[in-house]
Structure 1
Amino acid sequence: MANWVPLWLHKLGSPPIFYRFAGVVRPWALALAILAALAALYGGLVLAPADYQQGDAYRIIFIHVPSAWMSLFIYGAMAVAAFVGLVWRIKIAEVVAMESAPIGAAFTFITLVTGSLWGKPMWGTWWTWDARLTSELVLLFLYLGVIGLYHSFEDRRQGARAASFLALIGIVNVPIVHFSVNWWNTLHQGSTVRILGPSHIEMSMLWPLLTMMLATKLYYIASLFARVRADLIATESGKDWVRAIALAENGDRP
C-alpha cells in the first residue's frame, strides 16, 4: 500500500493519464455541483425562515459565505500545487496551480460584490476599510498578480515558476483573511459555522449553506479539470498522444 500510493500519484502526473482522468471525473463533478447548488438554493431561498434581525437580506450568505470559503480554499490548493511544481518540477502541478488562479479570482470577486450588497443595508455603506474586507481585496490582487505574471512570459513553464513563487509568498494573507475578525476590531461578524464545536446557526439555514459549500467545491473540480485539459491540448499539441486524440475525434470526418 505504501508503495502503491506514490506510484499512483506519479502516474497521475503524466499529462495523457491526467487528461483522461480529468475527462472522466469532470462531467460527474459538474452534474453533482448543479444538483447540490439547486438543492442549496431551494433550501436557502425557499425553505429557510427569514432572520429575526436581518429579515430576508441575510439570504445572500448562501452565495457570499461559500464563495468566501472557496476564495481561501482555492488559494491554498494553488499554493500547494505551486510548491509541488517548484520542488519536483511536475508539469501537471504547475498547470493546476496556474489554472486555479482564475477560478479563485472569480470566487474572490463574487465574495467582495456580495459582501458589498449585504453591507449597504446592514452597515449603510457599500465599502469600508474593514480588516476582513481589505484582506479579501488583497487576496484578489494576489490572484490577479499570479495570472498577470504567468501570462507575461512567452515560455509558459518559466511563467508558471515565477507565478508560483508569488503564490507561495502570498499564502501569508490566507490566515490573515481567516482570522482578521479575531485579531482586529472589525465590523464583520465572527464565524457562525464551525467544524470543531457547535455552529451558531439554525439547522434550517446550516444545511443549505453546507450544501452550497459542497457545490462550489465540485464546481471548482469540474472547472479546473476543464481548464487543465484545454491547457494540456494547447501546450502538448506536438506530442503523439494529442495527435492520437485529434485523430480519434476526427476519425469519422472526411
Structure 2
Amino acid sequence: MGWQWFHRLGSPRWFYEKTDAWIPWLAVVSFALLAVGAIWGLAFAPADMKQGNSYRIIYIHVPAAFLSLAGYYIMAISGAIGLIWKMKLADMVMKCAAPIGAVFTFISLVTGAIWGKPTWGTWWVWDARITSMLVLLFLYLGVIALQQAYQHQDTANKASAILALVGTVNIPIIYKSVDWWYTLHQPATIKFTSESTIHPSMLYPLLTMVIGFYCFYALVLLISTRTEVLEREKKTRWVNELAAAKAAGGKV
C-alpha cells in the first residue's frame, strides 16, 4: 500500500488534481501564522537586554535560514528520487525548489548582514556560518543554471540532481560551523535536544513565524510545481481537457 501511494504521488496528474484543494487552506494558514507571528514578535515581544530592538530581525532571519536548509534537502531528495526511480514529478519539484530556496537563502544573508551591522559593527565578515551559507546560495544558483544550460530536459535533470546531492555535504557544515570553528555567529537559540536559550516571550512568536514560513514555503512550492506540471504535460490529453474546461468557464 505504501509503495502504491508513493508511485501514485509520482504521477503529475494525480499530484495536480489532489493538491488543488490544498492551496486555499495552505494560503489561509500560512498568511494567518505570518501575520500573527510578525505582530506578536515586532509589537509585543520585549526588547532584548543587550541588543535592544535590533534583535527583532530574527523573526525574518531565523525562519528564512531554516527554510534555506530544509529546502535544500527537499531539492536534493527530489533529485535523488528522479535519478533512482525516474519519476517526472520529482524532477519538477527539484527544479521548482531551487529558485525558492535561493530566495530564502538570499533573504537569510541580507537580514543577517542587517543584524550584523549593529551587533558586530560591520555588514559582512568571512565567518564560517555566513561563508557556508553563501556557498549554499551558489549551489542553488548552480542548480538553476544547469536547468537552463541544457536543451534536453532529462540531461538537465540528471546534472542538477548530481550537483544537488554533492552539495548536501555543505548542510552539516552550516549546522555545525559555530561548534567546529571560532565564529562571531551566535550558537543556535532554538534547541530540540536541550533547553532553548531564548526567553519564551520571544520564543513563541519566533516559533509561530517558523511554522508560518514552512507553510508559506509549501504553498509556493505547490503552486510552482503545479505550473511546471502544466508546462511539461501540456501535450497530454488531461491537460488539454483542463484547458478546454477553463475556456468553457469551468474550474481548473
Q: Which residue of 2 aligns with 1:238?
A: 235
Offset from partner CA, 1:167-225 (integer Å, 9 cap, x none): 00000000101110000000000011101211011111111111111111111111011
Partner Cα distance (1:108, 1:233) in 2: 27
Q: Which residue of 2 aligns with 1:179?
A: 176
Partner Cα distance (1:22, 1:14) in 2: 12
Would you identify which runs of 4 or more consecutive aligned residues in structure 1 move more than 2 Å? none
> Do the aligned partners of residues 203 and 236 (structure 1) sit closer, same or farther apart at CA in structure 2, a change above 3 Å counting?
same
Offset from partner CA, 1:53-105 (integer Å, 9 cap, x none): 00000000000011111110000111111111101100111111111011100
Match of 2:31 among 31, 34, 38: 34
Q: Which residue of 2 aligns with 1:139?
A: 136
Partner Cα distance (1:12, 1:252) in 2: 28
Match of 2:18 among 12, 17, 21: 21
Whether 1:165 aligns to 2:162 is yes
Whether 1:190 aligns to 2:165 is no
- Length-normalised TM-score, structure 1: 0.96
Q: Which residue of 1 aligns with 2:55?
A: 58
Partner Cα distance (1:232, 1:38) in 2: 31
Partner Cα distance (2:155, 2:238) in 1: 23
CA contact (8 A) 1:22 1:226 kept: no
Partner Cα distance (1:5, 1:252) in 2: 37
For residue 116 of structure 1, report the CA deviation from its aligned partner: 0.4
2:20 partner SS: helix
Q: Which residue of 1 aligns with 2:221?
A: 224
Match of 1:121 among 111, 118, 121: 118
Q: Which residue of 2 aligns with 1:96?
A: 93
CA contact (8 A) 1:26 1:221 kept: no
Amino acid at match of 1:83: A
Partner Cα distance (1:96, 1:34) in 2: 23
User: RMSD of the TM alignment (CA)?
Assistant: 1.0
For this pair of structures, how many residues does the alignment match? 250
For residue 7 of structure 1, report the CA deviation from its aligned partner: 1.0
Structure 1: gaps (5+ residues): none
Structure 2: gaps (5+ residues): none
For residue 23 of structure 1, report the CA deviation from its aligned partner: 1.7
> Do the aligned partners of residues 252 and 67 (structure 1) sit closer, same or farther apart at CA in structure 2, a change above 3 Å counting?
closer
Q: Which residue of 2 aligns with 1:45?
A: 42
- Length-normalised TM-score, structure 2: 0.97
For residue 30 of structure 1, report the CA deviation from its aligned partner: 1.7
CA contact (8 A) 1:32 1:218 kept: yes
Whether 1:74 aligns to 2:71 is yes
